[in-house]
Structure 1
């Protein structure tokens, strides 16, 4: 399973994109760096959440990702 990063940014925006992808049966892997840093006792600045999808789902997801980013 090869993963492709499709988003880095805030947790709130990532959740919105995740929801849009799940509506078309694509379930992204969420890497929450902010949560991981907090549990470890460290702070974190910058791109806190990353979304990844399988490369085979990329063609199906591209239009949803593009439309989502255009409406931010």
Structure 2
């Protein structure tokens, strides 16, 4: 999935951070789509950047999701 009129990429990074962000978003009823090009590419005979996963949210939820992602990442930096 690339960005389209319905979904917008909110974060790209390692699996462990994607899973954490996904969990925080789901707590507020935002259900993101996770795209792992490496896993998908491996099955299709192509590749991707190892460990870099993309997280997409519906455009209608982007502003709310962006605030949550920013807060989670800021808290990670301060720890």
Shorter-chain TM range is 0.7 to 0.9
| Displaced runs of 4 or more, over 6 A | none
Answer whether contact 1:8 1:47 (CA < 8 A) is retained.
no
Name stretches of at least 5 consecutive residues in structure 1 with no aligned partner: none
Name stretches of at least 5 consecutive residues in structure 2 with no aligned partner: none
Q: Say if 1:42 and 1:66 are closer, same or farther in 2 by CA, change over 3 A.
A: same
Aligned length: 72
- Structure with the bigger RCO (C-alpha within 8 Å, sep 6+) is 1
Q: 1:30-45 to 2 correspondence within 5 Å?
A: 30-45=34-49
Computed over aligned residues only, the root mean square deviation of the Cα atoms, in angstroms, reads 1.8
State the TM-score, normalized to the length of structure 1: 0.82
State the TM-score, normalized to the length of structure 2: 0.76
Q: 1:9-28 to 2 correspondence within 5 Å?
A: 9-28=13-32
